[in-house]
């Protein structure tokens, strides 16, 4: 018997691997990173157990190369969460661990925060008379005065002073008036708490009262119409949590983490705020992560992967826009940050708050079953009134590039009244199709079962599924005609139509193309917010969380694209999108109006949204899911396979079927080709599993998946499992 250490290492391993302790030095503790040999390479891994006895012969094991962390990087609660997630989502634990770590730690770099230099006064500096150097050295005088006012100066403050501040300070140091010292610098934002919160209304108070930071676990769903003051309730609960000395984790969708949100948090909360999202530089991410772990950050605002960040003293978790699809990772480790956050809160015995104006059907079902407390905020806070909504029947209407005359008239009247109009179309580019008017040829991506989108501004065709681009052809490759026409609507086309219809009011377009440059999104939003631009158009980048007080008209340019989607979740997504976009209207004193252009005004989904709002839609949708035996009433998993070979994915899944453990409680559908069979040059197929209980589904997956990797057909494909898939 040998004592071994178990190490989770990235790779296709369903368990941690066994290693011998390092040749010299003590055995590493659980939770530290180590470097281990793997094949001929070296990898960074996390110690998950040991030393423990192994039945493997010592001569078949290799020793750990070295131990990276002097003390555990991950605490037991964080490790348990990651292990749980790896098991539940059937993902290799080593990969799950690495997903949870910032890049630098993944690469084995030290877990130490950035350092910063600060300048402070010496006794001589305190006694010095700035006036004495007024004429000879005005800059020295200025900095000496600044130091005497504030005691210390940090790099951030120096940036505010500007110019040659550093070299001037160096001269003060040489004269013995100032000295420097270095300190860890986590790059946290200071909460200023310099603005009072609104006095909560009755509904908000009832909701806030349910969130009790020290009373143990509770899951609270805040189902509040847009502008009802959900964020105010979060802020109230967060402030109370901070008063109890607890940390708060706030998880938001990628696009929801805006400078406005951060500023609002800073202006209302005291304590230090850490931001965690994928757009940060590696060093910034590491700092924020370490600050959360050390308990130096009081509030952590982050996107999806922040759900794994270690917290020294957790007190509350908030998930904003809990319905948002970006909370579920769509590739690799396909975890749901929302579901893991709820689990994490339960295990840490702290409250979790899920907020949305359009809660996911999953969360509404959890509320109906008593697992979540359901709190509705039915009224807009302050003076804002709910917007009026109406359908604009497009049938037979003359249109100008997709804008009907009644819509153009409506925009005009809002502009005349001094309002702002926002037009929403969830498709960027000029047109989704380019067609030859002579022979009917369509510009199709040769790697996907999809058409190219025509981007007029860039003069290119772009496939939104695989990112392939090509120059716009000037003649049809099939018949040679030059009569190539754009078919259908994209934001660029609406922009052109608006520019023509309203020459006095240039529109601002907000989508992923127009905001590629760093800071351009913020600039555009700024122009929209100050009212500098009165016509705003864009994709769902506009739909979330932004407060645009002067918008009085919201137009949904084309509701039809979502009405007949193949995915059973398409209606839910359309309803959420319509309600979220509509919520941008009339958020301040002026009443708002929402118009929806459609060729199907009688469609039940639109009728329901119009007359009963999201709650009416959700009730019907849940009943339909129940009748169809779909989530959230049943648990679902997809096994996906893809390959460059056309037949391999289906062949693999067909070979997999007979290996499944027999269990009548788990229904199997397929294998089928995926809805878009070919994507990025790969053919795709999938197999769907449905079960009344999660544990049955999990038992079948656990008994089945290990056998799949051993199938000879598995070598021809890439395959993966998606538990609780968000898209099919
Ligand atoms: P949500 O998060 O539900 O969209 P917010 O919390 O952003 O709503 O509130 C919408 C607007 O109403 C904000 O300008 C906010 O300051 C204001 N507000 C929120 N609660 C109140 C209140 N109780 N009294 C007055 N104004 C409020
Ligand atoms: Zn493509
Ligand atoms: Zn042609």
132-182 pLDDT, tens per residue? Answer: 775 678 888 888 888 888 888 877 777 777 778 888 888 999 999 999 888
For 639, list phi and psi in degrees, rounded to 5.
-105, 120
**Residue range 683-687: mean pLDDT, rounded:** 97
Q: Where are the beta strands (DSSP E) in 498-545?
A: 508-510, 535-538
Q: Where are the beta strands (DSSP E) in 365-504?
A: 373-377, 388-393, 399-400, 403-404, 420-424, 433-436, 453-455, 460-462, 469-471, 484-487
The pLDDT, as a whole number, for residue 466 is 96
157 token code pair: 């403050």
Q: Express each pLDDT in 467-476 by its tens digit.
A: 999 999 999 9
Atom of ligand 1 nearest to the CA of 320: 2
The pLDDT, as a whole number, for residue 279 is 85
Containing 650, the helix (H) or strand (E) segment is helix 648-656
Q: What is the share, in percent, of the chain residues with pLDDT greater than 90?
A: 75
State whether the beta carbon of 321 lies less than 6 angstroms from ligand 1. no
Question: Which residue lies with its CA nearest to atom 19 of ligand 1?
Answer: 229
Whether the per-residue pLDDT at 545 is higher than 60: the answer is no
557, 422 contact by CB (below 8 A): no
Whether the per-residue pLDDT at 22 is higher than 70: the answer is yes
Q: Express each pLDDT in 291-317 by its tens digit.
A: 999 999 999 999 999 999 999 999 999
Task: Describe the crossing of helices 405-416 and 491-501 by its angle, rounded to 10 degrees.
Answer: 60
Q: What is the share, in percent, of the chain residues with pLDDT greater than 70?
A: 99
State whether the beta carbon of 224 lies less than 6 angstroms from ligand 1. yes
Atom of ligand 1 nearest to the CA of 232: 6
**Residue whose C-alpha is closest to residue 713's, from 638, 637, 641, 639:** 641
Which ligand is located closest to the Cα atom of residue 202? 1
Dihedral angle over CA of 702, 670, 629, 321, nearest 10:
70
Question: Which residue lies with its CA nearest to atom 15 of ligand 1?
Answer: 229
Residues annotated as binding site? 436, 439, 445, 448, 463, 466, 476, 479
Q: What is the mean pLDDT of the chain?
A: 92
Residues annotated as binding site for Zn(2+)? 436, 439, 445, 448, 463, 466, 476, 479
Q: Express each pLDDT in 444-466 by its tens digit.
A: 999 999 999 999 999 999 999 99
pLDDT confidence tier of residue 565, bands split at 50, 70 and 90: confident
The pLDDT, as a whole number, for residue 1 is 62
Measure the CA–CA gap between 206 and 185, rounded to whole angstroms. Answer: 40
Question: Which residue lies with its CA nearest to atom 20 of ligand 1?
Answer: 229
Which ligand is located closest to the Cα atom of residue 470? 2
In DSSP terms, 192 is beta-bridged to: 270
276, 289 contact by CB (below 8 A): yes
State whether the beta carbon of 675 lies less than 6 angstroms from ligand 1. no
318 token code pair: 């908030």
């Amino acid at each position: 018997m040998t004592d071994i250490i178990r190490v989770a290492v990235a790779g296709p391993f369903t368990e941690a691997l066994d290693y011998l302790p390092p040749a010299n030095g003590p055995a590493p503790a659980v939770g530290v990173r180590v470097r281990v040999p793997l094949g001929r390479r070296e990898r960074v891994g996390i110690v998950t157990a040991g030393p423990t006895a192994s039945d493997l012969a010592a001569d078949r094991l290799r020793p750990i190369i070295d131990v990276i962390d002097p003390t555990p990087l991950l605490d037991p609660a964080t490790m348990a969460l990651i292990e749980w997630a790896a098991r539940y989502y059937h993902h290799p634990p080593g990969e799950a661990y690495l997903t949870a770590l910032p890049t630098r730690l993944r690469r084995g770099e030290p877990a130490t925060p950035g350092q910063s230099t600060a300048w402070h006064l010496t006794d001589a500096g305190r006694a010095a008379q700035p006036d004495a150097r007024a004429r000879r050295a005005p800059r020295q005088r200025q900095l000496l005065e600044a130091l005497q006012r504030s005691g210390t100066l940090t790099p951030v403050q120096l940036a505010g002073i500007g110019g040659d501040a550093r070299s001037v300070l160096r001269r003060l140091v040489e004269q013995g008036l100032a000295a420097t010292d270095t300190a860890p610098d986590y790059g946290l934002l200071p909460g200023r708490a310099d603005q009072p919160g609104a006095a909560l209304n009755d509904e908000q108070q009832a909701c806030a009262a349910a969130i009790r930071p020290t009373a143990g676990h509770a899951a609270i769903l805040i189902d509040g119409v847009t502008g009802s003051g959900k964020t105010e309730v979060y802020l109230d609960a967060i402030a109370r949590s901070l008063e109890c000395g607890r940390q708060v984790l706030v998880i938001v969708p990628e696009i929801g983490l805006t400078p406005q949100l951060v500023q609002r948090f800073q202006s209302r909360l005291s304590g230090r705020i850490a931001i965690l999202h994928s757009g940060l530089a590696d060093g910034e991410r590491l700092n924020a992560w370490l600050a959360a772990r050390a308990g130096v950050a009081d509030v952590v605002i982050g996107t999806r992967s922040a759900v794994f960040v270690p917290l020294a003293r957790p007190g509350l978790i908030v998930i904003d826009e809990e319905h948002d699809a970006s909370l579920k990772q769509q590739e690799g480790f396909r975890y749901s940050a929302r579901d893991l956050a709820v689990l994490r809160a339960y295990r840490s015995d702290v409250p979790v708050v899920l907020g949305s104006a359009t809660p996911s059907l999953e969360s509404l079902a959890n509320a109906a079953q008593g697992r979540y407390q359901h709190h509705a905020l039915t009224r807009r806070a302050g003076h804002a009134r709910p917007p009026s909504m109406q359908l604009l029947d497009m049938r037979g209407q003359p249109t100008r590039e997709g804008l009907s005359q009644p819509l153009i008239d409506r925009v005009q009247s809002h502009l005349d009244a001094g309002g702002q109009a926002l037009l929403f179309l969830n498709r960027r580019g000029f047109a989704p199709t380019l067609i030859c008017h002579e022979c009917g040829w369509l510009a199709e991506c040769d790697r996907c079962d999809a058409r190219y989108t025509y981007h007029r501004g860039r003069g290119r065709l772009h496939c939104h599924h695989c990112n392939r681009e090509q120059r716009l052809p000037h003649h049809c490759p099939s018949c040679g005609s030059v009569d190539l026409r754009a078919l259908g609507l994209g934001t660029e086309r609406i922009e052109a139509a608006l520019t023509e219809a309203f020459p006095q009011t240039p529109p601002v377009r907000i989508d992923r193309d127009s905001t590629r440059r760093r800071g351009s999104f913020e600039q555009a939003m700024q122009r929209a917010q100050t009212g500098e631009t009165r016509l705003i158009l864009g994709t769902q980048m506009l739909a979330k969380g932004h407060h645009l007080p002067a918008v009085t008209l919201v137009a949904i340019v084309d509701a039809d694209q979502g009405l007949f989607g193949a995915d059973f979740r398409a209606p839910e997504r359309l309803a959420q999108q319509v309600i979220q976009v509509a919520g941008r209207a009339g958020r301040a004193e002026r009443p708002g109006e929402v118009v929806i252009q459609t060729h199907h005004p009688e469609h039940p989904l639109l009728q329901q949204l119009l007359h009963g709002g999201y709650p009416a839609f959700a009730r019907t949708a849940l009943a339909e899911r129940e009748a169809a035996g779909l989530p959230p009433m049943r648990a679902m998993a997809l096994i996906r396979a893809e390959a460059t070979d056309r037949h391999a994915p289906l062949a693999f899944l067909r070979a997999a079927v007979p290996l499944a453990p027999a269990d009548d409680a788990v229904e199997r559908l397929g294998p089928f080709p995926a809805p878009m069979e070919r994507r990025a040059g790969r053919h795709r197929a999938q197999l769907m599993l449905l079960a009344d209980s999660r544990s049955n589904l999990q038992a079948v997956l656990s008994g089945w998946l290990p056998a799949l990797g051993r199938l000879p057909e598995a070598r021809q494909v890439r395959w993966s499992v998606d538990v609780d898939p968000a898209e099919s």
